[in-house]
Every structure is written in C-alpha cells, then in structure tokens.
Amino acid sequence: MDFEVWPEAIELGRLFAEQGYELALVGGPVRDVLLRRPSHDLDFCTSAKPEEFEPILRRWGHDGFWDMGRKFGTLGAMRRRADGTEVQVEVTTYRSDTYDPDSRKPEVNYGDTLEGDLSRRDFTVNAMALRVPDLEFVDPFGGAGDLAKGVLRTPVDPEQSFADDPLRMMRAVRFVAQLGFTIAPETAEAICRMNERIAIVSAERVRDELVKLLLSDRPRAGLEALVESGLADLVFPEIPALQLEIDEKHRHKDVFEHTMIVLERAIALETDADGPVPGPDLTLRLAAIMHDIGKPRTRRFEPGGKVSFHHHDAVGAKMTRKRLKALRFDHHMVEDVSELVNLHLRFHGYVDEPWSDSAVRRYVKDAGHLYERLNRLTRADATTQNRRKAAVFAHAMDEMEERVRVLKEQEDFDAIRPDVDGNEIMELLGLEPGPMVGRAYKHMLEYRLDNGPVEHDVAVAELKSWYASVQS
C-alpha cells in the first residue's frame, strides 16, 4: 500500500528510532490518508514514556511545545515550515483509557504494544497505524475494509469498548455526521443498551461532540442517529420530544421532521467567509434545531381539529437557555441562541400587514447583532408546501430587508439613541439621578424609534410634555 506521508512524520520517526523507541502515526491522520482528505494535526503513539521522549519532541518542535496532557501521557510540539504553515504533533505513550463506574474522568494506564493500544481505540477506522519511519501499515482489526464500506465498528466487543469510555457512543453519531458512515448493527445495538452510561461523562465533553456534529457536513444524519440511539433522551431530551404523536383528527406538522428541514434550509442560507453569516455557523444551527422546542409544552387541541402552540417562542427560549447552560455553552452562545428562538416568529406579522418604519426600526434594534441570522432562521422556518404562501412570504421578507437597507443609509441603526441624553434629561427636568431619569430615557428612545431623528427642540418639547403627563 502506497502512502504519501508528511516529511515531518518521517523525520520524527527517525529521531525516536535513534533512541530505540517505536513511533507510529495513528487514528484520524491515518484514516484521512486513506480517504485522501487533508489532515492538519498529526497524532502519534510511542513505546516511550513522556519523560523519555520529551527531549526528542522539544528538539524537533523548536517553534512550540506543550504538556497540558502530561497526566494522560501526551506531549505536543509545533514547527513552522519555510512557507509559514504550521505542523502540530501530539505524541502519546501506548495506553489504555478506562472509567471507574462512578467517575466522570478516565483513568490512564500505559500499555506495552502498538496493537494493544489500537485495540483500545474507539472504532476500527481509527484503529489503524503507520509505523514511522519505515511506513509499515498496521491494521489488526480490519479498519481499511470498514473504511471502504463506510461502517463504524468497535475493535473489541462494543459493550467493553463503551464501558471503557462511554463518550465513544457520542463519537459514533458524530462520525455519522462528519464522515457519512453508518453504525454497524451490533455496535448500534450496544449503544441502545448502554446509552444511560453517558451520564458519567462530563457535560463539557458531551458538548464538544455535539458541536463537532453540528458543524459537520451532515448534521441532520448525526442528529437522527443521536435520537435513534436513545442518547438524545439523556443529553438533549428536547430534540426527541419534538416527535409528537400525530392523529388523524388533529393534524399538524411532524415537528421533528420540520426541525430537520429547517436545519438544512438554514445551512443552505449560510454565506461564504465574506458574507454576514459565514458557514458553518454554530449559533444559527443551534437556533434552527431549538426554535420549536417549546411546542410540546404548549400544544393545545382546539375545536374543529386544530392544534395551537401559543407562546412556544417564549417558552422555547427559556428551555433553550436552560439546556445550553446545562451543556456548559458559554454565556454569549446561550444568550444569542435563546434570543433567536424568542424572536423567530416576530416577522410573521409583517406578512399580513407591512410594518411602519418605526416597527422596522424596532425589529432591527431588537435583533441587534443577530439580525442577519434571525432573517435566515425566519426564512428557513417557512416550510409551507403551498407555493402561493411561500411566494408571498419570500416577497415580504425581501421587501422588509430592502426597507432596512434604505433606512440604514439614512441612519445608523446600531447607534440609535434618544435625541436627548441622560444628562440633558436631568438638566431639562431638574432631576437628580434615579428611576425617573431611566423612565424618561426609555420614553425618548421609544419616541426616537417611532419617529426617526427629529429636531432637538421637537425632542425637548416631547420630553417636557411626557414629564408633565406622568406628574399629573
């Protein structure tokens, strides 16, 4: 089997061999070589202990060295090529990761052989190695064959593999999304039997797998596998809850299927790097899968066979905030996605009756930095099969966006402030700092949004008129 391998890998292999140590390229980089995919970082395993290979790695990686993974037997290094590109490597001692039944953190035990190390990896397609510098291909579990068939299978008994590291169950559904693979039947069955063991894995590690899944080329396939495996019931229960039972009397959309369609439509509306929403955009994708999670809680069966979901936007926003916090997403992501869910129905009133300029200003002001994402989420959510309704909706959105463009040429929406500031309010009304100044400021901001920029004396007159009315 012919391989085109990074010269840096060959050089590093020679340095280890000179000291009597084994070194092999493992995991994703080997898989990517066979798939003819680029691989940016190189992972190796070795017979040497960290204290033994640290001097070699420091000498090779003259542009950078790190040891955050030392307790796991991992050290890393980096060097820059003449063209300015960076090559990063991580080297790990042959090892075994196992979990204590009651612990959230894996225990690390060193192993003795490359084959033993490979047997403890997640899937056969990641349990292949390339010894360096002699380029001997090592594939004890048939990973190359599974790679050709696009199948995910564990190197050892799947229950043993998932007992050793339950996060591997999340990796399986992530690889469905990233690689377009299917999960082997016996492996899928083991995940269904053992999915409750995911509870011992930290929220941060689960979140990281979800993020990789969502940012992949096939997030829908990954989410569907997550639901089918039963893992979603434990790590993201709001998603399978969208599979509402639909009877013949009370007809409404399959909310889970609708959500998957919205996700795909939202992805199609992402832009290139120079556009306002460069893809893959995690905020938009999270909002797409969560925009309707309030529906199960708000579903009501109405007379005449209709079904309503009143206030599912507000309820969904609260649920979104709670779930993303539980998954340890950062504060900004939590707030942005929650706000998109809260606002995702806002535009629909425009379709029935185009807004005044003041209402358009409010929409843009309330959306803030999420404006472009909100419009894309709103467009993606319009999944009606009625061509006339779809055309009317698209036309209304186009019209509103054009009006925003024209209004932005006239004024900077991001900088909209009242025509009188807080200091002027206190001076004109003879007030000391306090709640009344805040009320006056809020009124003048509302006045500004309703009327656009006005002459200063007009704004002063409005302020005094308002103050007189609240004093009476």
Work out the burial of residue 412: count CB atoms within 10 Å of its CB; fewer than 13 is exposed, 13-18 middle, 19 or more buried: exposed
What's the average model confidence in pLDDT over 278-296? 96
466 lies in the same domain as 392: no
Model pTM score: 0.82
Element (H, E) at 462: helix 456-471
Can you give the pLDDT at residue 247?
47
Q: Which of 61, 167, 181 is nearest to 122 (CA)?
A: 167
Can you give the pLDDT at residue 103?
55
458: pLDDT strictly greater than 90: no
Q: Tell me, what amino acid is at 191?
A: I
Q: Which two tokens stand for residue 322?
A: 């709670």
**Domain holding 195: CATH number?**
1.10.110.30
Q: Which of 215, 236, 257 is the C-terminal boundary of a domain?
A: 236
Angstrom distance (rounded) from CA 221 to CA 182: 10
Query: Which residue reads 């100044």 in tokens?
Result: 437
Can you give the pLDDT at residue 81?
86
413: pLDDT strictly greater than 90: no
123: pLDDT strictly greater than 70: yes
406, part of any domain: yes
265 lies in the same domain as 410: yes
Who contacts 217 (Cβ-Cβ below 8 Å, separation ≥6)?
Answer: 177, 178, 180
Which band of pLDDT confidence, cut at 50, 70 and 90, is reported for residue 249? very low
52, part of any domain: yes
297 lies in the same domain as 410: yes
Domain count within the chain: 4
Domain that holds residue 201: 150-236
167 lies in the same domain as 95: no
pLDDT tens-digit map of 137-149: 999 999 999 999 9
pLDDT tens-digit map of 156-182: 999 999 998 999 999 999 999 999 999
386 lies in the same domain as 441: no
Helix, strand, coil share (%) of the chain residues, nearest 5: 60, 10, 30
281 lies in the same domain as 210: no
133 lies in the same domain as 160: no
Strand partners, 301: 307
Element (H, E) at 52: helix 50-60
132 lies in the same domain as 3: yes
Which band of pLDDT confidence, cut at 50, 70 and 90, is reported for residue 4? low
Angstrom distance (rounded) from CA 267 to CA 290: 14
Q: Tell me, what amino acid is at 428?
A: L
Say if residue 133 is preceded by a cis peptide, omega within 30 of 0. Answer: yes
What's the average model confidence in pLDDT over 4-23? 91
294 lies in the same domain as 377: yes
269 lies in the same domain as 411: yes
Of the listed ranges 103-107, 395-399, 405-409, 426-430, the one predicted with least confidence: 103-107
Can you give the pLDDT at residue 236?
96
Cα 244 from chain centroid (whole Å) = 25
Which band of pLDDT confidence, cut at 50, 70 and 90, is reported for residue 462? confident
Q: Which of 389, 415, 441 is the C-terminal boundary of a domain?
A: 415
Angstrom distance (rounded) from CA 35 to CA 352: 51
Q: Which of 170, 198, 164 is nearest to 183 (CA)?
A: 170
pLDDT tens-digit map of 305-348: 788 888 999 999 999 999 999 999 999 999 999 999 999 999 98
Q: How many residues does the chain have?
A: 472
Angstrom distance (rounded) from CA 340 to CA 269: 16
411 lies in the same domain as 426: no
Angstrom distance (rounded) from CA 216 to CA 184: 21
Angle, vertex CA 337, rays to CA 311 and CA 325, nearest 5? 100
355: pLDDT strictly greater than 80: yes
Can you give the pLDDT at residue 248?
47
Q: Which of 104, 120, 141 is the C-terminal boundary of a domain?
A: 141
241, part of any domain: no
11 lies in the same domain as 119: yes
